[in-house]
Structure 1
Amino acid sequence: MSTGKDIPWVEKYRPKKLSDVVFQTQAVSIMEQIIETFNMPHMIFHGPPGTGKTSAALAMARQIYGAEGMRERVLELNASDERGIDVVRDRIKTYTRINISNNKINPETKRVMPNYKMIILDEADMITSDAQAALRRVIENYSNISRFILICNYLHKIIGPIYSRCSAFHFKPIEQNSQVDRLEYICKQEGIAYTTSALQFLTKISQGDMRKSITILQVCLMSTSLVD
């Protein structure tokens, strides 16, 4: 089997569906109910880094639209790179105004897709206050054809008028046993020998950050085939 060293494992083993998201049982349960009904509010996913916020948003989008439908109906932006008012006016507002075809089938689920697009804004707490004010107006004016998922580490940096329009989901630091289980799965998939004590040590370093644990694991394997 390929060692997978040529691919970042945080991407290779990113959850494809919500049930694969680790340790966020309560949030995932509510999201799965939303997917069943397509009655989706605007949402804020907040919590420490590496707790599954972006993975959950992308998994949710995939389950709603399928991989093919995501290309047409999902816009993902990292707000730390594009944090000013221009990106709200030029990219987000333009995208929300684009019409989409109705009654299109998700080939993966055989269900009709909802008639709204999805905009995922990662690191939304990095958006300037002026840009957030402009974003609030876009959210308000285009709610009939668009849904927003804002992802952030610090909820207090999101302005009140946006927060009040969204359902907030808190993502907790991932406890050690759940992390070890995931790292064991990755090691088995990659054909790597390991010891449980070594994986426990990695997860202790990460302090609840699953992304950091997976990254450290892959770096360790750059120089050895045994995690001990």
Structure 2
Amino acid sequence: MPDNKNRPWVEKYRPRTLNQVTNQKGIIGRLKQFVNDKSMPHLIFAGPAGTGKTTSALAMVREIYRKKMAININYLELNASDARGINVIRTYIKDFAKSKPPLDIPFKILILDEADNMTSSAQQALRRTMEKYTKNCRMILICNYSNKIIPPIQSRCVVFRFSSLNQEDIKERVKYVASQENLSLTPDGLSSLVQVSHGDCRRAINYLQSCGTISKEIDQETVFRVAGEVPSNKTTNILKAALQGKLQLSIKLLEEIVNEYGLSGINIIKNIYRELYDLEISEDKKIELSKILAEFEYRLSQGATEEIQLKALLAKIVLLHDVK
């Protein structure tokens, strides 16, 4: 058994039953019905990261099988990023699916995480396995984007779409974990953790654990340093200075946050983009700014020099100063 002290908190505090999954109530209600009926179709869980897809699948497995021995024999979890090729489907997954479960178990369950990373040929092979061995094995495919799953697989599954968690759900979960770990969260520290999670509860808890290694009292400053983000007012000040035609001031403010927070160019652009639509400027300017940010993000992704590109980005935003 791994030392509980050293376990990632996302695993340590992962809900173990469907009743403990407090969000996605409509979906959880349907999954409980599958458990009660001891019957389920193939499933696709789609939606953003950190919304409870894998947690819900694991909780359902526990409730269907109940006993640990039954889980060990009848359940298999794979990450499709590691097992994305056709050979894994034709051998490992096929071998698991074709062997019959014990008499007192209705079916085996295969959880395939990050299924949208599978190659097209692997998905075709998986479709055939699903078709042939559906009596023995039911599959739960977990993905961010269901449109990356081929239609023949989608048509054989019930698709559940998980939505991003609201801020209150994340806030309550973070507060619970912090109290269990004897951490003190300042009000701005808690709000900042929710802000930088962007609807991803797993990310919020990971950031909380990282902050906890730095200090037992977690404030806004600690959160932003760990998350590689900056307080929104600092990003907004850079944008406002550039839009007012003050190039030197905007560059000075940019250099300050780079030196203080050590952000990459891509992270800076993402921070600017998040603040863009709250600015009191015309819709036309927002559209133009979006295009500019996309252009410079692409340049950086192609290996262009960060300092030059970020200053060129600000110069281009300054040119919007005279645009009505």
Fold match by TM threshold 0.5: yes
**Partner residue, 1:176:** 167
Whether contact under 8 Å (2:38, 2:106) holds in the other structure is: no
Residue in structure 1 matching 2:193, options 202, 206, 226: 202
Between 142-151 and 59-68, report the one with greater CA deviation: 59-68
Q: How far apart, in 2, do the equivalents of 1:20 and 1:227 lie?
A: 26
Q: Percent identity?
A: 45
How many matched pairs?
Answer: 215
Residue in structure 2 matching 1:164, options 155, 158, 165: 155
Q: How far apart, in 2, do the equivalents of 1:55 and 1:25 lie?
A: 14
Q: How far apart, in 2, do the equivalents of 1:122 and 1:52 lie?
A: 12
Which is strand-richer, 1 or 2? 1
Q: Does 1:54 align with 2:54?
A: yes
Q: How far apart, in 2, do the equivalents of 1:62 and 1:202 lie?
A: 31
Which is helix-richer, 1 or 2? 2
Amino acid in the other structure paired with 1:81: D
Q: How far apart, in 2, do the equivalents of 1:116 and 1:139 lie?
A: 13
**Partner residue, 1:87:** 88
Whether contact under 8 Å (2:39, 2:106) holds in the other structure is: no
Amino acid in the other structure paired with 2:107: Y
Q: How far apart, in 2, do the equivalents of 1:213 and 1:68 lie?
A: 33
Q: How far apart, in 2, do the equivalents of 1:15 and 1:116 lie?
A: 23
- Measured after TM superposition, the shift of residue 90 of structure 1 is 0.8
Structure with bigger gyration radius = 2
Task: Give the ranges of 4+ consecutive aligned residues of structure 1 lying more than 4 Å apart after TM superposition.
Answer: none
Residue in structure 1 matching 2:211, options 217, 220, 223: 220
**Partner residue, 1:26:** 26
The two structures have a TM-score, normalised by structure 2, of 0.65
Deviations, residues 147-200 of structure 1 (Å, cap 9, x unaligned): 000000011000000000000001111111000101111111112222343112
- Measured after TM superposition, the shift of residue 101 of structure 1 is 1.5
**Partner residue, 1:108:** none
Give the gaps of 5 or more residues in structure 2: 220-324
Amino acid in the other structure paired with 2:81: S
Residue in structure 1 matching 2:138, options 126, 135, 147: 147
Higher relative contact order, structure no. (Cα contacts within 8 Å, ≥ 6 residues apart): 1
Give the gaps of 5 or more residues in structure 1: 104-113
After superposition, residues 107-122 of structure 1 pair within 5 angstroms as 114-122=105-113
